[in-house]
Amino acid sequence: MNAEAGDLQSAILEEASRPIPPAQGWIDGRAVEAVSGRRQARTSPIDESSTGSIPDCDHVDVDRAVAAARRAYADRRWVGLGRRERKRVLLRFADLVMNARRELGVLQCRDMGMPVRMAIEADAGEAAATLRWYGEALDKVTDEMLPLTARDFGYVARVPLGVVGAILPWNFPLMIAAWKLGPALAAGNSVVVKPAEAASLAICRLGALAAEAGLPDGVLNIVTGSGMHVGEPLAMHRDVDCITFTGSGNVGRKLLECAGQSNLKRVSLECGGKTANIVLDDALNLEEVAQTAARAIFRNQGQICNAPSRLLVQRTIYPSFVEHVAEIARSLNIGSPLDLGVDMGPVVNDRQRQVVRHALAEAERAGARLIVDGRQAACPEKGFYIGPSIAVDVDSRSALAQEEVFGPVLAVMPFDTLDEAIGIANGTRYALGAAIWTRDIDKAQHAATHLVAGTVYVNACGGVMVEMPFGGFRQSGFGRDRSLHALEKYTDLKAVLVRHTPPS
């Protein structure tokens, strides 16, 4: 470890040694407890130590937050500032998140087990970059003018929806929060955020940072607690105009039901994926491909919706390539995610670890063979650790090839032709991402055209680009995070016709 990394490691450990103050919600510009006074204890997946507690809120707290958001929207204290002032506030918010990224990243690491460098750079750092991008974009999006007749002209204005409810996942809480907050706030909405129970601590810090940046009271509200007691009341609330959600398909279905049973609020869903990573035998650099294939599925312990959990390898290179990927997996360091030298930390909680173990056992019963078995990996005794797993002889119709495990498990399948690989890749209910490695531009374009996925990577796999839309087809959901297209989720179109009478 060089001197710079050593200094960073020392700063991380110093930050991690500090007690975590009790988290609070944020409503109408101030930190709040649940009205009931109840709190929910939290445990770190790193070593099962206490990470304090969060307010255990319910529908009463949701009502308070929505009312505050509605007041803020109705009196135009945010959208009425105009674009330049909103831009200034969002850029200041981005600066404050960036300045606090080490504190936020370490807190995130302790809360849900994300490797600390990733938590600092890819979660907190990308959150700041996303807020900045939407702040910069805010005054570049304009309305449309329409000359119609000699007497008439029209314009089409893109107007905010009003109150947005944002329900977040636990795998990249800060980054995904910014994917929703950035465009929703840039468009002029007020927002009520419901963090995941397993990753609320860093999100709870955003309220104070937003207030320091100059965001008016009531424009951003944060309510912690369970899906049943906070998420569902938020989705059912008749004064919420939009729900944006990242998480499981089962919850996504429930949110659609809530929208139908309440006020037909707009809903956008990102409900996971089963990304196929297709490797052709003419790929330019198989060493790079193998490294990417392994590290892309095992980073953040495989807890990434777009993780390439299916590896499809052309049969001519199958044995040697798969064994090399296995060697890389066996070399990964498993341990405390606060250690910069560690590749994999724990999964988020024991329930998720049991989900992974069950998926591996079911795969074996279905005939798959584990050439790397994460259940046998050397892991710390305390904490919710499980090593990387690679399964071969996987039937493309089996649960391991069809269902999202959301853990460090790679299902490997051979193929002979590109169209066969595309058929396997498209053969699930998910359609979030897909990747292909080839030096042949015609094959790459053929695959990009025929793969059913919201994002297709060519000679790459994964990566965060705020400029590009992110979301899926089929049961991966609908609506897009990131890019200017995300503004469409949080706005509506108002057509205005103006008729004038020529002077006599």
Does residue 496 sit within a domain?
no
Same domain, 307 and 212: no
Q: How does pLDDT run across 224-283, given as a tens digit for each residue? A: 999 999 999 999 999 999 999 999 999 999 999 999 999 999 999 999 999 999 999 999
CATH number at residue 78: 3.40.605.10
Q: Is 267 domain-assigned?
A: yes
The pLDDT confidence band at residue 495, using thresholds 50, 70 and 90, is: very high
- Pairing mode, if any, of strands 433-437 and 276-279? parallel
Domain for residue 138, yes or no? Answer: yes
Claim to verify: residue 120 and residue 224 sit in the same structural domain: yes
Q: Would residue 282 be called left, alpha or beta, if left means φ above 0 and alpha means ψ between -120 and 50 degrees?
A: alpha
Average pLDDT over residues 297-303: 98
Residues 288, 259 share a domain: no
Kindly state whether residues 260 and 290 are assigned to the same domain.
Answer: no
Indicate whether 1 pLDDT > 80: no
Are 96 and 177 contained in the same domain? Answer: yes
The pLDDT assigned to 360 comes to 98
CB distance 201 to 111 below 8 Å: yes
What is the spatial distance between Cα 291 and Cα 165, in angstroms, rounded to a whole number?
39
* Nearest one of 126, 198, 485 to 350, comparing CA atoms: 198
Of 246, 271, 296, the residue at which a domain comes to its end is 271
- Residue 502: pLDDT band by 50, 70, 90 thresholds? confident
- What pLDDT, on a 0 to 100 scale, did the predictor assign at position 226? 98
DSSP classification of residue 229: I
* Residue 348 and residue 237 share a domain: no
| Whether 99 and 166 share a structural domain | yes
Residue 418 belongs to some domain of the structure = yes
> Does the structure show a pLDDT above 80 at 491?
yes
Flag whether 302 is in a domain.
Answer: yes
**For residue 478, is it within any domain?**
no
> What pTM did the predictor assign?
0.97
User: Can you tell me the distance from the alpha carbon of 345 to that of 116, in angstroms, rounded to the nearest whole number?
Assistant: 9
φ, ψ dihedrals at 350, nearest 5°: -65, -30
- Does residue 155 have a pLDDT over 90? yes
Give yes or no for residue 119 having a pLDDT over 80. yes
Of 204, 305, 404, 461, catalytic: 305
- Asked if residue 205 and residue 318 are part of one domain, the reply reads no
pLDDT digits (tens, 9 = 90+) for 163-194: 999 999 999 999 999 999 999 999 999 999 99
Catalytic site residue from 270, 271, 404, 461: 270
Q: What is the CATH number of the domain that holds 315?
A: 3.40.309.10
Domain containing 371 equals 276-472
pLDDT at residue 229, rounded to an integer: 98
Residue 499 maps to a domain: no
* pLDDT value of residue 501: 84
Does 422 have pLDDT greater than 90? yes
Let me know whether 159 and 213 are in one domain: yes
Q: Are 158 and 186 in contact (CB under 8 A)?
A: no
- The pLDDT-based confidence of 21 (bands split at 50, 70, 90) is confident
Question: Helices 206-213 and 83-99, interaxial angle, to 10°?
Answer: 130
pLDDT on residue 464 = 87
DSSP-assigned beta bridge partners for residue 369: 392
413 plus 452 within the same structural domain: yes
Measured CA to CA, the distance from residue 372 to residue 81 in angstroms comes to 57
- Secondary element (H or E) of residue 26: strand 25-27
Alpha helices in 223-312 (DSSP H): 232-236, 249-261, 286-298
Q: Is 227 helix (H, G, I), strand (E, B) or coil?
A: helix
Query: What are the DSSP calls for 370-382, one per residue?
Result: EEE-GGGS---SS
Q: Are residue 178 and residue 192 in the same domain, yes or no?
A: yes
Summarize pLDDT for 387-420 with one digit per residue, the tens. 999 999 999 999 999 999 999 999 999 999 999 9
Last residue of a domain, one of 271, 305, 323: 271
Residue 187 and residue 328 in one domain: no
Query: What's residue 193's pLDDT?
Result: 99
To the query of whether residue 305 is one of the catalytic residues in this protein, the response is yes
* Locus of tokens 């831009």: 87
Q: What pLDDT is attached to residue 251?
A: 98
The reply to whether 316 falls in a domain is yes
Which residue intervals of 350-416 are DSSP H helices?
Answer: 350-365, 399-402
Averaged pLDDT, 127-154:
95
Is the predicted pLDDT of residue 504 greater than 90, yes or no?
A: no
CA distance 407 to 193: 26
Alpha-carbon span 438 to 278, nearest angstrom? 9
Indicate the number of domains in the chain: 2
Structural domain ending residue among the three candidates 222, 248, 271: 271
